Structures are given as C-alpha cells and as structure tokens.
Structure 1
Amino acid sequence: MATLVATPRSRALGFGIRAARKSRSLGVRELARLAEVSAQELSHWESGTRVPQIEQVALLLGALRLEPIERERLLELARNAREPNWLERTVPGISPAVSTYAEYERTATEMVNWEPFVVPGLLQTPGYAEAILTANRLPPGVVEQQVAVRLRKRELLTRRNPLVLKLFLGEEAFRRPIAGPAVLAEQFRWLLRAAQPRNITIRVVPAGAGYHPGLYGHFVIFDFAHLPSVVHIEHIRGSAHVYDGDHVAAYRAAADALSALALDEQESFAFIQGVITELE
C-alpha cells in the first residue's frame, strides 16, 4: 500500500491531478473507474496524503489525455513525490509554481507571512499589483490576468471559514516608491480596511528594530487542518517549499522573533495612517 505522507511534492502532484480531472469535467468516481483504482485511493492521491506508484500516475494521465508538457511535469513530481523539500522553477504567466502556491492558500487554515519589502499579493490593490508586474516586464495580457487572479483570491479572507492571516510587514515596504504616491496611498488605505476582520492581523516591523532572522528574507508558513505545515520561500526565478519539521520550527521561531519586535496592531495602524498622510 502507498505510504501515508503529505510532502509539498505529493501535494503538488495531487493538486495537478485534481486540476487535470476538473479541466476534463470528470468526477472522482468517473476517473477512478477509467484508471481502474478505487475512488477513495484517488481522493488520497489528490489530497497528497498518499503517493501513487509511477505506473498508477501514468494510467491516470493516460485516462486524462494531458498535453505532453503537463504530463511530463506530473510524472516528474510522481518520481520524487516523497522528497520533503523542493524547488520549482517559475516562468512568466500563471506557472505551475504559482498554481501550487494558490492551492496552499486555498487549503490552509492559517498563514503567517513575513514581507520585508512589499505588500503581499493577497492584499495588493490593482494599481499596486500592476506596478510590480509591469516592472517585471511581463506582457500586458499577463499583467491583467495576474491582477485579476490576485483580486479573486481575496475571497479566501471572507469565505465562510476564512483563512487566518498574520502578516508582518517591514517598514521598508511603506518607504519604497514602488508606485506613485496616489497608488501607494490607495494600497495602504486598503490595508487598514482589510485588517478590520478578526482573521487578519497586520503588524509593522520598524526599520530600527536591529538584527532579526527576518533579515534573511521573505517567508510564508502555511498551516492546515489535517496536514503538516509547509514553508514557502521565493527566489528570483523559483520558489522553495520546506516541509522538514526542524526547518518549519526554525521559521516559527523567526516569526516569534518578528512578533516580539513588531509594533502592536494599534501602533501599526497609526504608523500606516501616518504614511498615508505623508503621501497625500
């Protein structure tokens, strides 16, 4: 029997199988019948809690009739699905790495996010997101597509069982002229409005806080109801996913250190309002 696991790769494989099945308008039972496996086993594979054998994945992909590029990507994930940590290269547009991250957001119960330099995508306004994506020299059509995706993801914060977001923002995120003053002021006003529900916490880490582990860079900790936590780290041309328990614990310790240095919620709101006043 397949090993019970829940690594980033196994979950990415499951996300890919699930997305391919839905793109073909197939139900779990229907695909299971075509691939000659049980519906329960297929559900485990899609959730990432069990890893299918490479031959079983090949049968699924044959039944789904995927394009060669996507077929090879999923087969590669299946070959290494039990690896706890992995790096996936990104490409312009809505890449597999972006869709995997979106699945982590969608299925997580809580998200701890440290952003030293920019407002994260989940809370970006259209103007702010467009400025960042345009600076990355993406084609206009791709920029428009990615802005729309970011706006749709806001539903995660307002759904029936909303994602709990604990965001730590570095002071530099409010000082860097990523866009014009009007766009920045709009973005920061949106932060104040977004933080009204109890499931969203925004705290500012002052530039004068001295050394802290967050200086090594951005990270996100995803917590799930019934699966181990995953840490996400971004690089210029890729994204790393960390699953090892000791590594996750180190990032939690870093988040605790940031919490100790950050302004409290009321102080953070006052700081953000002060920045808005300066921009206006």
Structure 2
Amino acid sequence: METDGRAMLRRRVGVLLRRSREAADLAIEDVAAHLECSSAKVRRIENGQVAVRPLEIREILALYEVPDARRSALLDLARRSRESKLEWWQEYADVVGPDYEFFVGLEDRATLICDYQSYLIPGLLQTESYMRAVMDAYRVPADEAALRIRFRQKRQSLLVDAGSPAFRAVIEENALRKKVGDDSVMREQLRRIVDVGSRSRVSIQIIPAATGLHPAEGRAFIMLGFPDPEEPKVVYLEHLNGSHLLDTPAKTVAFDRAFADLQAIALSPDDSASLIEDMVKE
C-alpha cells in the first residue's frame, strides 16, 4: 500500500516539473509530443497522480533545459518519490513555502553554507527564544509558529551532525544590536553565536556598524556549495511576499564574489567573537 510520503513527494515533483515547463514556455502538448505519449499522461505526472520514470524525467529536464543544480535535485526527488522514504522537511510542508522546501533539500546535501544577514540573526544560529520573538513580531499564529520553530531547530542539526557542512556567516553589527524580544533574549542569542562560532567547521564574522556602504548592503542571501565542484552553487533570496532560488552560474557568480568581499571587510572570527562578548557585557 502506498505511503502518504510517496504521494506527497510525487505531488512535489509534479509542481516543480510544471513550473519548469512554464518557465521554458512549453505547452503540455509539446511535452507529450517529445515523450511520444498522451497529454493526459503529462497532466497526471504534473498533478502527482503517477510517478515519473527515470528515463522520462531525464528527457523532460533536457527538454526544459533545466540547470544542472536543479536537475540533480529534481532527479533525486523523483527517485525518492518512487520509494517509501519521507524526508524530514516534507513533514513541515504546511508552513514552508515550496521554494524554501526545495532549498532545504539542497541544503541537506551541501558541503558549504554561506549566509549573509543584515537585519536578523541567521536562522541556523537562532535560539528558540529569539525565533519565538521574531514570530511574535511577524504576527505568526501560535500553532504555525510552533511548527516553524521545530522546523528551524531541525535545520540547525546540520551544524552538529557528523559530516556537517562548512558554515560561513557574515552578519551586520546592526543585526546584533536590533532588539528582538527582551534583554535576556538578546544576551542568550549573542552567547549562542559565540558558542557556535567556536566549532571547527564554523566561521562567524561581523561587519562593524561604522563600515561604509558595500555592494551587498541590505541584500541578505544564503549560498550553497556542493560536493561536486562542477555542480553550480545555489543562492536563496527571501523577500516580503515570498522567496526564490538562483541556480545558474551566470546569476550566482556575483553573489560568490560579494560574499568574498563581505568576508574581506568584516572583522576576523576572533575579533568578531570579542566584539560580541563585549556586547553581552554592555
């Protein structure tokens, strides 16, 4: 008997394939002609009613000219949709947007996470109290906030699990000084940053408030790198009404350069830790 997990994954594959087809400006009939099948079958695939076979999805992704990073992730998702295993992030589909869910799937197999934040503490570093205060400020309903917090805490296990990716964070000093919750929340949060920053595969750097304008000013982003150096990096951008991913070298190379520039102008990890420790004492 089929599990709910397989059905959910099939639907996810279908949604992503439909979006890719629309981005390629192709009709269902075009795909059916290419696969030499009926239009009804393509609709069933996109609706998640049937699983797509490996050969079919490779043909489809080639037709849509899907970039390598997204193609690899889609192939993996399609493979899992034919199995019974449900990945942990699918459990939070009700409170996580589709682009973010796709991003977390990529993050889960990344070997490098680069996070630049200008207004808030990076999610992978947030304490539960800080998360809750953010949810309250954004007026997130209590039941949804609880799910979002559990989801974020699950993500944070990336930094402590065996084989954890390298994590590089650059944070504006203003983000550390923006009061989220009360003083005790902020002190706990600052101590958490210093604690996580002491781990071997973690680097946290602070850009002092006195630093002048720079190219990435105010444009928070997360960039992922993967085991295969030929696989393009992926950039996740979040805005008020949603989020989106960039996964082609032509679009991500500017963020790669920007993050290197941010690391160059920021304080060293040791000096950053000293600054944060001084802030805790203030």
After TM superposition, the score normalised by the length of structure 2 is 0.70
Q: Deviations over 1:120-156 (max 9, x none)?
A: 1111110000111121111100111111111111211
Residue in 2 that maps onto 1:264: 268
Q: Give, as a single letter, the amino acid of the residue that structure 1 aligns with 2:226.
A: F
What is the CA-CA distance between 1:248 and the residue it aligns to?
1.4
- Given candidates 179, 191, 207, the residue that maps to 1:177 is 179
CA distance in 2, matches of 1:263, 1:231: 24
Structure-2 change in CA distance of 1:24 and 1:240 (3 Å): closer
Q: Let me know the Cα RMSD of the aligned residues.
A: 3.4
Q: Deviations over 1:61-109 (max 9, x none)?
A: 2236xxxxxxxxxxxx98x9646599xxxx9822223312221221211
Conserved? CA contact 1:113–1:168, under 8 Å? yes
- Given candidates 214, 232, 250, the residue that maps to 1:228 is 232
What is the CA-CA distance between 1:211 and the residue it aligns to?
1.9
Q: Give, as a single letter, the amino acid of the residue that structure 2 aligns with 1:99.
A: E
- Given candidates 124, 127, 131, the residue that maps to 1:125 is 127
Structure-2 change in CA distance of 1:57 and 1:113 (3 Å): farther
Please give the residue correspondences for 1:48-127 in structure 2 after superposition, counting only pairs within 5 Å.
Answer: 55=41, 58-59=44-45, 61-63=48-50, 82=65, 93-127=95-129
Conserved? CA contact 2:99–2:245, under 8 Å? no
Residue in 1 that maps onto 2:147: 145
What SS does structure 1 have at the residue aligned with 2:179? Answer: coil
Gaps of 5+ in 1: 1-19, 32-44, 65-76
Q: Deviations over 1:134-184 (max 9, x none)?
A: 211111001111111111112111222102110000011111112211001
What is the CA-CA distance between 1:243 and the residue it aligns to?
1.9
Identity over aligned residues, as a percent?
Answer: 23
Pair 1:195 & 2:197 matched: yes
CA distance in 1, matches of 2:43, 2:186: 47
Conserved? CA contact 1:116–1:214, under 8 Å? no
Q: Deviations over 1:179-218 (max 9, x none)?
A: 2110010011111111122111100011111121120410
What is the CA-CA distance between 1:239 and the residue it aligns to?
0.9
Conserved? CA contact 1:92–1:138, under 8 Å? no
CA distance in 2, matches of 1:203, 1:118: 14
Q: Give, as a single letter, the amino acid of the residue that structure 2 aligns with 1:142.
A: E
**How many pairs are equivalent?**
222
Conserved? CA contact 1:128–1:187, under 8 Å? yes
- Given candidates 166, 185, 188, the residue that maps to 1:186 is 188
Q: Give, as a single letter, the amino acid of the residue that structure 2 aligns with 1:274.
A: D
What SS does structure 2 have at the residue aligned with 1:207? Answer: coil
What is the CA-CA distance between 1:21 and the residue it aligns to?
7.4
CA distance in 2, matches of 1:121, 1:162: 16
What SS does structure 2 have at the residue aligned with 1:107? Answer: coil
What SS does structure 2 have at the residue aligned with 1:203? Answer: strand
Gaps of 5+ in 2: 11-16, 21-30, 33-40, 52-59, 71-92
CA distance in 2, matches of 1:59, 1:151: 33
Would you identify which runs of 4 or more consecutive aligned residues in structure 1 move more than 2 Å?
53-61, 80-86, 91-95
Structure-2 change in CA distance of 1:249 and 1:135 (3 Å): same
Residue in 2 that maps onto 1:246: 250
After TM superposition, the score normalised by the length of structure 1 is 0.70
What is the CA-CA distance between 1:56 and the residue it aligns to?
5.7
Q: Deviations over 1:213-265 (max 9, x none)?
A: 12041011111113321111111011121123132111111111111110001
What SS does structure 2 have at the residue aligned with 1:231? Answer: strand
What SS does structure 2 have at the residue aligned with 1:275? Answer: helix
Conserved? CA contact 1:220–1:233, under 8 Å? yes
